[in-house]
Amino acid sequence: MDSAEKTGTSVVVRMTCAREMAALGNPLLPPCVRVPSEAGEAEVRCDDGSESIVAAAVTDFIRKHRCLPRTVGVEGGPQFEVTPAREGRLGGCVAMVTGSAQGFGKGIAEEMAAAGALIVVADLNAELGEAVAAELCEKHGEQAAVFCSANVTDSDSLNACVEAAVAAFGGLDILVANAGVLKAGGLDEMDEAAFDFVTSVNYKGYFLCTQAVVPVMKLQNRICADWFMDIVQVNSKSGLEGSRRNFAYAGGKFGGIGLTQSFALELVAHHIKVNSVCPGNFFEGPLWSDPEKGLFVQYLNAGKVPGATTVEEVREFYLSQVPMHRGCSPRDVTIAIFYLHEQQYETGQALPVTGGQVMLN
């Protein structure tokens, strides 16, 4: 059984378990399915790994015993361990959060793990990403999170990350496309390489992430038609209004909302909802506050705030534009993600989380 077949079988086991347990009157909560390091005698044995045979064997066991199987074995293939979903608001969900080794992404991953989700920490920074996954496991259980190296501009990297997610948990239910970069500058400063870099990560990266997760999500829908899944792009208030001397970032974010609406129309038939969250500024995070590369420093050097001569003056200028007079936090964004996940009658939307700074009209 090759890796692609193993991925498909994991999904079939997980979603068949979810469907059949729900048919018995239980909540629709897909379990965690993984290949253990040591395997004993399987409770459910399948002659091969084909979808129909695996689904039939798991279905027969659940209908007979009225409980989840502990293990499912495939002839000539691996044995899959089945464990019940974690409790919580996101219980039963596997969530991949890109760019979650630090900043907004880390905060979102922490909040989602606390709500019961199994977390895939997807990031280029292996040292920080592995540390975040270890922290989540220490706090929420040894199987609560895994790290996978992910370059959002490289489809092979993302496909491998999705495969790793399914190997760890048996499926993928929520993509939070959070990874992003920003380089400020006006027309007389921005060079082509910098523009391409920002656009590649923020715009193309969202497309590639979505393209990588959709096959697994479609398979999950085919097996369990009542299960809804979510793709949530962490966009920006700069995706709702222009941003002076910041056109590369704003342009990519405007384009991201166009992708969200288009993906939503394409995927709605598969119960995959696609939305964007448009946060205000996370002033406390490294994107803004890094003393060397943060936006406060960049904007001071670029002269984006007329008359400002210090980083603190730049900071106060931006705080004064928010009616609630504070920055947006990872928890603010995660609460919006919770809403979009729980609201089944919402797709193709761009939800502002800006403290009143940007209002829809």
Q: Which residue in the list 249, 318, 339, 345 is annotated as catalytic?
A: 249
With a cut of 80, say whether residue 111 has pLDDT above it.
yes
Tell me the per-residue pLDDT of 349-360, one tens digit each, with 9 for 90 and over: 999 999 999 998
Query: Does one domain contain both 177 and 138?
Result: yes
Domain contains 119? yes
**In the structure, what pLDDT confidence band is assigned to residue 286 with cuts at 50, 70 and 90?**
confident
- How many domains does the chain contain in total? 2
Residue 331: C-alpha distances to residues 68, 139, 145, 234, 335 (Å): 34, 18, 19, 13, 6
Query: Does one domain contain both 340 and 226?
Result: yes
With a cut of 80, say whether residue 165 has pLDDT above it.
yes
Query: Does one domain contain both 196 and 119?
Result: yes
Query: Does one domain contain both 62 and 140?
Result: no
This prediction has a pTM of 0.94
- Cα 360 to Cα 351: distance, rounded to the nearest angstrom: 9
Domain enclosing residue 72, as ranges: 3-83
Tell me the per-residue pLDDT of 185-199, one tens digit each, with 9 for 90 and over: 899 999 999 999 999
Query: Does one domain contain both 151 and 276?
Result: yes
**In the structure, what pLDDT confidence band is assigned to residue 182 with cuts at 50, 70 and 90?**
confident
What torsion, rounded to 10 degrees, do the Cα atoms 82, 105, 234, 360 define? 120
Tell me the per-residue pLDDT of 15-62, one tens digit each, with 9 for 90 and over: 999 999 999 999 999 999 998 867 678 899 999 889 999 999 999 999
Domain contains 286? no
> Mean pLDDT over all residues of the chain?
95
Q: What is the mean pLDDT of residues 248-275?
A: 98
Domain contains 309? no
pLDDT of residue 118: 98
Residue 277 maps to which CATH number?
A: 3.40.50.720
DSSP state letters, 216-227: HHHHHHHH-TT-
Domain contains 64? yes
pLDDT of residue 287: 77
Annotated catalytic residue 249 = yes
Domain contains 27? yes
Query: Does one domain contain both 78 and 100?
Result: no
Q: What is the mean pLDDT of residues 145-168?
A: 97
Domain contains 222? yes
pLDDT of residue 109: 98
Query: Does one domain contain both 135 and 217?
Result: yes
Of 52, 83, 114, the last residue of a domain is 83
Cβ neighbours around 273 below 10 Å, total = 24
Query: Does one domain contain both 181 and 207?
Result: yes
Of 48, 83, 118, the last residue of a domain is 83
State the alpha helices, DSSP H only, in 76-235: 103-114, 126-140, 155-169, 192-199, 205-223
With a cut of 80, say whether residue 361 has pLDDT above it.
no
**In the structure, what pLDDT confidence band is assigned to residue 3 with cuts at 50, 70 and 90?**
confident
Dihedral (CA of 286, 288, 289, 290) sign: positive
Query: Does one domain contain both 52 and 168?
Result: no
pLDDT of residue 302: 84
**In the structure, what pLDDT confidence band is assigned to residue 244 with cuts at 50, 70 and 90?**
confident
Query: Does one domain contain both 148 and 219?
Result: yes
% pLDDT > 90, the chain: 85
pLDDT of residue 37: 65
pLDDT of residue 84: 97
Query: Does one domain contain both 237 and 264?
Result: yes
Domain contains 342? yes
Domain contains 239? yes
Query: Does one domain contain both 128 and 20?
Result: no
Of 51, 83, 115, the last residue of a domain is 83
